[in-house]
Chain A
C-alpha cells in the first residue's frame, strides 16, 4: 500500500482526538507504521483544530502537507473550506454539514461563508456529506458525531468493517460502546 493520509479538522471540543486515536488503532491492526499528530492546549478551546493520521510502510513526518491527504474528515463545514488545500485531487472529503460560527462571525465582524458545499463541488472536490449531528442525536448521543463520521469514512475506505469495529471496541470506554457502535453503523450504512 502507498501511504494513506487522513486529516481530521474541526472545532476544539468536537471529539476529533478520539477519532484520530481510533484511526491510529486501525492502522496498527493492519500492521502498518503509523503516526498521529494531535492538538492539545489552548487551541483546543473552541479554535480550529487539525489532527493528522499517516499510515504506510514507513512514516517519517507526522504532518500531512498541502495536496497530500487521501481523506479530509471535516467535522464542520467552514473547517472543510479552510483545509481543503490539503486534499489530493483524487481524495475524498468526508463532510459533516454542521455549522459552528467562529467568534468573528458571532461578533459580526465577518459573515459565515454561504454555499460552501456547492463551491467545493464546483471546484471538483469529491464529497461525501452527512448531517452527523442529527444522526448522532438519532443514535442516542449528541457527542457521537465523531463516530458517525468515522463510519462514513470507513464505508468509503477499502479497509474491512471488522477491523474498524474491533478498533472501536478498544478505544471507546465500555459504557459508551453501544451508542458509538450505533453511530458508526449509521455512518457506515450511508450509500
Chain B
C-alpha cells in the first residue's frame, strides 16, 4: 500500500519498520513531525527531551543498552548536541543509533542556515541524505544497518523541502529486532584519555571501511543520460537538477559522507563537463577539487538560500522565465505576526511602552522584533536572552541594567535558559528575566515540555514549577503576572527592573491556539469609538483601520479583549452571534 507522507512522517515510518525502541527529540522546525509521528507508535518509547543534548544522551544510553534508537533535531539543535555527538563517534553503538538533523536552507523558520554536513566530517560519522519521502523511509532503515555493521552512529540529513514535502511511500511491516545483550565494556564506553586513544584509532579504521562501503552501496548511484553534462548532487538539489537539466547524467549521492572517491573519478572521466549542484556550502565541490578534478559549482551557484529549477536554468543554461502577466500593482509584504489572542502581545505592549532594552530568544515572541512592537533588541540562540542581559549589565553597569530585561518562553527557559539564570545569581547580576509561560511549546506547533505537565503522548506527569525552580537557584524576587492585565503587568515590570537583585517575572497566559482556551468570540467596534486609534497600537491583525472607521475582522478575532483593555471609551463589545 502506498501512502502520501511528509518526509518527516516517512522517517517515522522508517524508524518503526526498522524496529526502533527508543526515540528522543527536542522540537524544532523542520524536524518536529518526525517524533510527533513516532509517538503514534505504541511499540516505540518516545519523549520530548528538555534539549537536544539530553535527547542525544538518552538515545546513546538506549543504544548502549542494546536498543535501536533515533534522535531528531533541527540543524541548530545539533550544535547543542555536538558535545555527545563527537564522543559517541568514539564509543560507537550497541543497538543501532541514528541521528536525524533537518537543515533549513532559506531559513523558513531558523536563525541561521548552517550546513550540517560539516558535522559528519568533523565528528567522523557517516551521513546519508534522502531526496524524497520514499528515500526518507528507506535511508533510515539502511542507516540502522550501517550503524550496527560499522559500530557507529549515523546521521541522516534532511532539508526543509524534503522534510515538509509529501510524496508516495510504500508501507512495510515492522521488523522484529531483539534487544542486543548489554555487555559492560569500559574500554569502549568510558571515554577517558587512555581508552579514547584506542577508540580514535578504531574510528579511523572504521572510516576506511566506510569509504569502501561508499563505493559500492546502492545509496550512491549513477544515472546515465547525455554524457555531455555530468552532475554530482544529492537531496532536494537532485530533484531541482532533474527538473531543470532533464536527461543529462547524474551521480546521485545518497551517502554524503564519506564520499566515494573511485565512483566520482569514474563518473567525472566519462562526462564532458562536470557540475556539482548542492545547496549551501561547497561541501562536495571542495572534496572533488581536492581529488584534482575540474568542476563547475559555486562559481555559478549561490552559497545562500534555497535552489530551484528556475535558479539552475538561469545560472547554468542562461534561460529566464518570461513574465506571463503584466500587472501595475505591487503586493505589500506580509510578514508573520503574533496571532490574534496571543498572550505575548500584552507583554511586548508594556515593554515597548517602558522603552526597555530587550534581549530576546527563540520562539513565536521573536516576532516582537518586527513592527508594530519592535521591542526586541537581540535574538541569537535558545536561552541566549538570559546570559546576554547579564553580559550587557556587566559591560554597561547597573543603570543600563535597570533598562534591560531578558525575555524567553517556558520551553526555551527549560532548554537552556536555566543555566543562564544560575549564572546571573552566582555572579551577582541584577537582571530581570521574563518567562513567557504560555503553557506549551508554541512556534513548532504545540508540543508538551517539562512545564506543561504532560508527556509527548499526552499522559499526565510531574510538572516543573517555574516559581520554585527560580527560587531554588537563588532568585528571591519571583512574580507571577497576567500580561493581559496591562496595568498590573506594567507595575510589576517597573518594580522588578528597579530592584537591585535578580528577579524573574512569570508572564502567565496560555497560547490562544490551545484547544482549552476559549475566548468569547469576535468583538466589534460600537458607536462610542472616537477614532483615537489606541487599539491599533497593540498591533492585532484582526483590527483594521479603514480610514474613517476602525473595524474588527470577525474571521480573525477570537475575543481576547486585549484591545478593550487599551480602549478608553468602552467602544469595543462582543459582536452578535456568529457561527464558527
Q: List residues of chain A with CB under 8 Å of any chain B CB.
A: 11-13, 21, 24-25, 27-28, 33-48, 59-63, 65-67, 78-79, 81-82, 84-85, 87-89, 98, 100-113, 116, 119-120, 123-125, 133, 136-137, 140-143
Contact = CB atoms under 8 A, between A and B. Distances in A.
B310 to A, nearest CB: 4
A101 B556 CA distance: 11
Q: Considering residues B333, B338, B445, which has the most beta carbons from chain A within 10 angstroms of its beta carbon?
A: B333
B578 interface: yes
Contacts of A36: 4, 165-167
List the 6 closest A-B pairs by CB distance, nearest first: A142-B580, A41-B109, A41-B29, A47-B336, A102-B334, A82-B331
Given A100-B541, A106-B543, 7 more contacts: A12-B336, A24-B166, A40-B33, A43-B108, A81-B327, A107-B536, A137-B580
Nearest to B242: A60
B185 interface: no
Contacts of B580: 136-137, 141-143
A85 B327 CA distance: 10
A123 B578 contact: no
Contacts of A61: 236, 239-240, 242-243, 308-309
Contacts of A113: 329-332
B331 to A, nearest CB: 4
B541 A101 contact: yes
Interface of B: 2, 4, 6, 29-30, 32-33, 108-109, 132, 161, 164-168, 236, 239-240, 242-243, 308-310, 321-339, 364, 366-367, 370-372, 443-445, 536, 539, 541, 543-545, 553-556, 578-580
Given A137-B579, A141-B579, A141-B580, A104 B371 contact: yes
Given A61-B239, A137-B579, A142-B579, A41 B333 contact: no
B161 A37 contact: yes
A143 B579 CA distance: 9
A35 B165 contact: yes
B321 A66 contact: yes
B385 to A, nearest CB: 17
Given A36-B166, A38-B164, A45 B325 contact: no
Contacts of B321: 65-67
Contact of A60 (B6, B109, B239): B239
A2 B329 CA distance: 32
A141 B166 CA distance: 28
A39 B443 contact: no
Nearest to B544: A101
Given A28-B4, A42-B108, A37 B165 contact: yes
Nearest to A35: B167
Given A41-B29, A61-B308, A67-B322, A105 B242 contact: no
B109 A40 contact: yes
6 contacts: A35-B165, A42-B336, A45-B337, A78-B332, A82-B331, A140-B579
Contact of B327 (A42, A59, A78, A119): A119
Given A35-B167, A104-B371, A107-B539, A45 B327 contact: no
Q: Considering residues A27, A61, A106, A137, which has the most beta carbons from chain B within 10 angstroms of its beta carbon?
A: A61
Contacts of B331: 78-79, 81-82, 113
A48 B371 CA distance: 16
A46 B166 contact: no
A48 B547 CA distance: 24
A68 B242 CA distance: 16
Contacts of B336: 12, 42-47
Given A46-B337, A103-B370, A110-B332, A66 B544 contact: no
A106 B580 CA distance: 24
A123 B366 CA distance: 39
Given A41-B443, A45-B443, A61-B309, A116 B30 contact: no
